């Protein structure tokens, strides 16, 4: 029996100085301007609805996403889990891409918290089609779990940061709504898609029932995500927020960082996309490295042609002060963000070239 035998505590970072941190856009640190905004934030007790900074953030995000209301939460994973628990009842089924974050990166939360099953749908680069969804929807039967919710991820993380087009989102939503099902969007990098596609977030989400926006990735805040949707849905979701920890008291200190991000860190996401494209070009010139198509700020690359497993190359890069994340046996991910500049990209490419040369 394996219960309580594993140690899942995060390991302390190695002493090697980090020169370029491409591990994730969650590695960003608040800028001096953001820290100043946090210090000046007007605050109150969120539990009493008395924190003006949180109210301002929720109102602005609801408007940005074209929804009636919104709720501030510590993380995007909490947004997903609260959304699933609010939309669904235990024993129901959620349909999502087979590589969706809720499938493999949220600690079994759908089953443990909402009591739902997740049915994985195939599709290239983390995106499934309306036809694939239609084929996966069953006729109601007492032998099968009721299907109640469709989940999409914008951008698709394990799909290489690929963007759903508005047409694809609308088509999937039409199928879902035609079967009486709701649609929830994991919007972790939604603003990356807005910048890349030139399509405002509210337009992308026009047919989506609930959506959340993460502030701790490319937007550079130290904490926070905002879940948005119909007013009655957000009211019901608050009970789940209470169950999972309650209000954040003077959370306006963190909300102020998110407000600063809305004002200063959206348009600059284009710089991250340009750096990712430059990184992909540089990595593609390294013998044995195969780079996947890049759309936004995520660069996935295959190490098979170098003769090295991904974990070996990752360890060599870490020893050289360059951090990337492990995706699979021969697949690594590099993620650009506001703390990585063009010089950092050049350093990372040189480090990969040297690590591969070592054989």
319-353 pLDDT, tens digit each: 999 999 999 999 999 999 999 999 999 999 999 99
Q: Which of 232, 234, 231 is nearest to 242 (CA)?
A: 234
18 belongs to a structural domain: no
14 belongs to a structural domain: no
Across the range 94-110, mean pLDDT stands at 95
What's the confidence (pLDDT) of residue 358? Answer: 72
113 belongs to a structural domain: yes
Using CA atoms, how far apart are residues 21 and 336, in angstroms rounded to an integer? 8
Using CA atoms, how far apart are residues 89 and 236, in angstroms rounded to an integer? 13
- Does the pLDDT of residue 9 top 90, yes or no? no
162 belongs to a structural domain: yes
2 belongs to a structural domain: no
CATH number for the domain that contains residue 348 = 3.90.1150.10
Using CA atoms, how far apart are residues 224 and 251, in angstroms rounded to an integer? 9
CATH number for the domain that contains residue 227 = 3.40.640.10
Would you place residue 249 in the very low, low, confident or very high pLDDT band (cuts 50, 70, 90)?
A: confident
Domain that holds residue 312: 268-357
Q: Are residues 231 and 351 in the same domain?
A: no
Q: Give alpha helix (H) positions in 105-161.
A: 109, 130-136
> pTM score, two decimals?
0.94
Across the range 62-91, mean pLDDT stands at 97
Q: Are residues 158 and 276 in the same domain?
A: no
Of the candidate ranges 2-16, 77-91, 125-139, the one whose mean pLDDT is the lowest? 2-16
What's the confidence (pLDDT) of residue 46? Answer: 84
3-state secondary structure of 354: helix
**8 vs 211, higher pLDDT:** 211
Phi and psi for 223 in degrees, rounded to 5? Answer: -160, 145
Q: Are residues 158 and 46 in the same domain?
A: yes
152 belongs to a structural domain: yes
25 belongs to a structural domain: no
Using CA atoms, how far apart are residues 234 and 228, in angstroms rounded to an integer? 7
- Does the pLDDT of residue 1 top 60, yes or no? no
Percent of residues in the chain assigned helix, strand, coil, to nearest 5: 45, 15, 40
Q: Are residues 250 and 273 in the same domain?
A: no
Number of domains in the chain: 2
Domain's final residue, options 237, 264, 291: 264
Neighbours of 149 (CB within 10 A): 24
Q: Which of 160, 170, 158 is nearest to 130 (CA)?
A: 170
Q: Which of 52, 147, 45, 58 is nearest to 96 (CA)?
A: 147
Place of tokens 């090697």: 16
User: Average per-residue pLDDT in the chain?
Assistant: 94
Would you place residue 81 in the very low, low, confident or very high pLDDT band (cuts 50, 70, 90)?
A: very high
Q: Are residues 86 and 103 in the same domain?
A: yes
Place of tokens 């959304």: 83
Q: Is 236 exposed, middle or buried (0-12, 13-18, 19+ CB in 10 A)?
A: middle
Q: Are residues 156 and 288 in the same domain?
A: no
Q: Are residues 156 and 304 in the same domain?
A: no
Q: Are residues 182 and 238 in the same domain?
A: yes
Domain's final residue, options 229, 264, 299: 264
5 belongs to a structural domain: no
Residue 301's Cα: distance from chain center in Å?
Answer: 19
Q: Are residues 110 and 233 in the same domain?
A: yes
Would you place residue 151 in the very low, low, confident or very high pLDDT band (cuts 50, 70, 90)?
A: very high
Q: Are residues 335 and 259 in the same domain?
A: no
Domain's final residue, options 246, 264, 282: 264
Neighbours of 23 (CB within 10 A): 19
Residue 236's Cα: distance from chain center in Å?
Answer: 23
Q: Are residues 188 and 68 in the same domain?
A: yes
Across the range 18-23, mean pLDDT stands at 95
Q: Are residues 50 and 167 in the same domain?
A: yes
């Amino acid at each position: 029996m394996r219960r309580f035998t594993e140690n899942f505590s995060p390991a302390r970072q190695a002493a090697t100085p980090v020169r370029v941190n491409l591990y994730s856009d969650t590695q960003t640190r608040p800028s001096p301007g953001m820290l100043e905004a946090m210090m000046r934030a007007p605050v109150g007790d969120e539990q009493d609805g008395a924190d003006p900074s949180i109210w301002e953030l929720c109102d602005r995000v609801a408007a940005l996403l074209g929804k009636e209301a919104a709720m501030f939460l510590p993380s995007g994973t909490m947004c997903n889990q609260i959304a699933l628990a609010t939309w669904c009842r235990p024993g129901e089924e959620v349909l999502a891409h087979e590589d969706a974050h809720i499938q493999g990166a949220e600690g079994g939360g759908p089953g443990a918290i909402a009591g739902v099953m997740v049915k994985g749908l195939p599709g290239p680069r983390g995106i499934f089609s309306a036809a694939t969804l239609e084929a996966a929807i069953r006729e109601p039967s007492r032998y099968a779990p009721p299907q109640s919710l469709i989940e999409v991820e914008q951008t698709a993380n394990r799909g290489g940061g690929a963007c759903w087009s508005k047409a694809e989102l609308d088509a999937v939503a039409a199928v879902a709504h035609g079967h009486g099902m709701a649609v929830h969007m994991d919007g972790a990098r939604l603003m990356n898609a807005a910048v890349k596609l030139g399509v405002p977030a509210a337009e992308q989400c026009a047919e989506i029932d609930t959506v959340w926006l993460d502030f701790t990735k490319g937007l550079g805040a130290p904490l926070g995500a905002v879940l948005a949707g119909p007013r009655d849905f957000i009211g019901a979701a608050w009970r789940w927020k209470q169950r999972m920890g309650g209000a954040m008291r003077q959370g306006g200190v963190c909300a102020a960082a998110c407000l600063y991000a809305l004002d200063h860190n959206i348009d600059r996401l284009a710089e991250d996309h340009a750096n990712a494209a430059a990184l992909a070009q540089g990595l593609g010139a390294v013998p044995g490295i195969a780079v996947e198509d890049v759309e936004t700020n995520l660069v996935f690359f295959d190490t098979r042609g170098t003769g090295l497993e991904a974990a070996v190359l990752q360890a060599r890069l870490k020893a050289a002060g360059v951090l990337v994340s492990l995706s699979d046996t021969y697949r690594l991910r590099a993620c650009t963000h506001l703390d990585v500049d063009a010089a950092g990209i050049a350093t990372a490419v040189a480090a990969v070239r040297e690590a591969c040369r070592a054989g």
